[in-house]
Amino acid sequence: MPNFDLQDPTDLDIMKGQFDMHTADDWQEYIDLAEAREIGYKNINILKTAQRKAGIAKYLSPKVINWILSLVEQLDNDEEE
């Protein structure tokens, strides 16, 4: 995942777009995967927040969206290995 500048409006739009591409069902798959890998209570809870806010990234802070997207990338990379 590229390093996003949380102060750059273009980067924020890209992050929100990537977040909004996932549906609630997609988030559930990530939650199940995270629970199976036991990646931590806080990480699983933030994925549950992402599921509740699926498609409406405007209600999440840029820092939270960045955290969520980094977890998604981590889970995807672990799955490929």
Q: Is residue 2 part of a domain?
A: no
pLDDT tens, residue by residue, 68-78: 999 999 888 87
Q: How confident is the model at residue 1 (pLDDT cuts 50, 70, 90)?
A: low
In a domain, 71, yes or no: yes
Distances (CA, A) of 80 to 33, 37, 39: 13, 14, 17
In a domain, 1, yes or no: no
In a domain, 3, yes or no: no
Q: Does 45 reside within a domain?
A: yes
pTM over 0.85: yes
Structural domain boundaries enclosing 75? 9-80
In the chain, the number of structural domains is 1
Q: Is residue 24 part of a domain?
A: yes
DSSP secondary-structure letter at 22? S
**pLDDT tops 80 at residue 24:** yes
